[in-house]
């Protein structure tokens, strides 16, 4: 099965900062990579699908890039509502796997 | 607007079977454009995909759970269900249901998700 890793596991940032989260797959997954945001006590919310496509209604400060094994999620200017945990997920085959998550908290 | 709602017991005894249902409203579970899935999250931990089902009944399961998992669909009720047998404390988690969208080139993603239901395995 395809293993997903994320770095860093956590980060502290300030409002207005540019934040980058990295996700790596154990084998090439082309662009079959999604990003989700999860706030405490809430269900995950889709941000990015197919590595770089912004889900409808998601602010444009979120962007995704990458293909093959290495992917990034970028928040161009961190807002107070962006403090959350972010997960990547591969959908290359029918056996989906998630990354371990990156917690973004307030510096 | 499509909504999903999980339901079922919040407490299950060890060695018994966990049974949950996801009710879909605001759309048809029989749509050919979507699959439906279950994902779980142990307290304080990350997300684990459990399995996926198509309205026709085709299923895909996480290999680590496959021997204990059954996902089924009831199109007449617009529901799909999860059964997980021989549960232990390690199966304690928030269980989410979600719609799996599929686009051209078979890109797939979960959206939306249900609110989740906490299931505790304890005697």
Q: What is the pLDDT of residues A18-74, one digit of tens each?
A: 999 999 999 999 999 999 999 999 999 999 999 999 999 999 999 999 999 999 999
Please judge whether A98 and B48 are an interchain contact, meaning their C-beta atoms are less than 8 angstroms apart.
Answer: yes
Residues of chain A contacting B48 with CB distance shorter than 8 Å = 98
pLDDT of residue A3: 97
- Mutation for testing the A interface, residue in B44, B108, B113 having most A CBs under 10 Å: B108
pLDDT of residue A67: 98
B95 inside 8 A of chain A by CB: no
In angstroms and rounded to an integer, the radius of gyration of the C-alpha atoms of chain B is: 14
pLDDT of residue A19: 98
Residue B82 pLDDT grade (very low, low, confident, very high; cuts 50, 70, 90): very high
Give the nearest partner residue to B111 out of A1, A46, A94, using CB atoms: A46
Q: Read off the pLDDT of each residue in B113-118 and give the average, rounded to a whole number.
A: 98
pLDDT of residue A15: 96
Whether the upstream peptide bond of residue B112 has omega within 30° of 0, thus cis, is: yes
Please judge whether A101 and B110 are an interchain contact, meaning their C-beta atoms are less than 8 angstroms apart.
Answer: no
Contact predicate A55/A36, CB 8 Å: no
Residue B3 pLDDT grade (very low, low, confident, very high; cuts 50, 70, 90): very high
List the one residue out of A62, A91, A92 whose CA is nearest residue A78: A62
Residue A107 pLDDT grade (very low, low, confident, very high; cuts 50, 70, 90): confident
Identify the residue whose tokens are 């759970």.
Answer: B65
Long-range interactions of B9-14: CB distance < 8 A, separation 24+: B9/B119, B10/B117, B10/B118, B10/B119, B10/B120, B11/B119, B11/B120, B11/B121, B11/B122, B12/B87, B12/B91, B12/B119, B12/B120, B12/B121, B13/B121, B13/B122, B13/B123, B14/B87, B14/B88, B14/B89, B14/B121, B14/B122, B14/B123
pLDDT of residue A51: 98
Give the nearest partner residue to A91 out of B109, B115, B116, using CB atoms: B109
B43 inside 8 A of chain A by CB: no
Residue B77 pLDDT grade (very low, low, confident, very high; cuts 50, 70, 90): very high
Better pLDDT: B64 or A94:
B64
Across chain B, what does the average pLDDT equal? 96
A56 inside 8 A of chain B by CB: no
Question: Which distant-in-sequence residues (6+ apart) come within 8 Å of B113 by Cβ?
Answer: A43, A44, A45, B4, B39, B96, B97, B98
List the one residue out of A105, A45, A49, A41 whose CA is nearest residue A78: A105
Q: Read off the pLDDT of each residue in B71-83 and give the average, rounded to a whole number.
A: 97
Task: Note the residue count of chain B.
Answer: 123
Report DSSP letters for B86-121, one per residue. Answer: S--GGG-EEEEEEEEEE-GGG-EEEEEE---EEEEE
- β partners of residue B75: none
Task: Note the residue count of chain A.
Answer: 107
Q: Read off the pLDDT of each residue in B4-16 and give the average, rounded to a whole number.
A: 98
Q: What percent of chain A has pLDDT over 90?
A: 96
pLDDT of residue B105: 86
Assess whether pLDDT exceeds 90 at residue A76. yes
Q: What percent of chain B has pLDDT over 70?
A: 100
């Amino acid at each position: 099965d395809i293993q997903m890793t994320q770095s860093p596991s956590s980060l502290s940032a300030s409002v207005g900062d540019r934040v980058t989260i990295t996700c790596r797959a154990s084998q090439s997954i082309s662009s079959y990579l999604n990003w989700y945001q999860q706030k405490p006590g809430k269900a995950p919310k889709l941000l990015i699908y197919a590595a770089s496509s912004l889900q409808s209604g998601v602010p444009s400060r979120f962007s995704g890039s990458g293909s093959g094994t290495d992917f990034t999620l970028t928040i161009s200017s961190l807002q107070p509502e962006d403090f959350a945990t972010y997960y990547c997920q591969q959908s290359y085959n029918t056996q989906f796997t998630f990354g371990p998550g990156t917690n973004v908290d307030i510096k | 607007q499509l909504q999903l709602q999980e339901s079922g017991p919040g407490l299950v005894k060890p060695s018994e079977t966990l049974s949950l249902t996801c009710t879909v409203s605001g759309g048809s579970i029989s749509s050919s454009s979507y699959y439906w899935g279950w994902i779980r999250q142990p307290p304080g931990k990350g997300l684990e995909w459990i399995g996926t089902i198509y309205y026709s009944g085709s299923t895909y399961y996480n290999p680590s759970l496959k021997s204990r998992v059954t996902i089924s669909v009831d199109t007449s009720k617009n529901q799909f269900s999860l059964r997980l047998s021989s549960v232990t404390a390690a199966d304690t988690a928030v269980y989410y249901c979600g719609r799996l969208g599929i686009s051209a080139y078979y890109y797939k993603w979960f959206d939306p998700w249900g609110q989740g239901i906490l299931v505790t395995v304890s005697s």
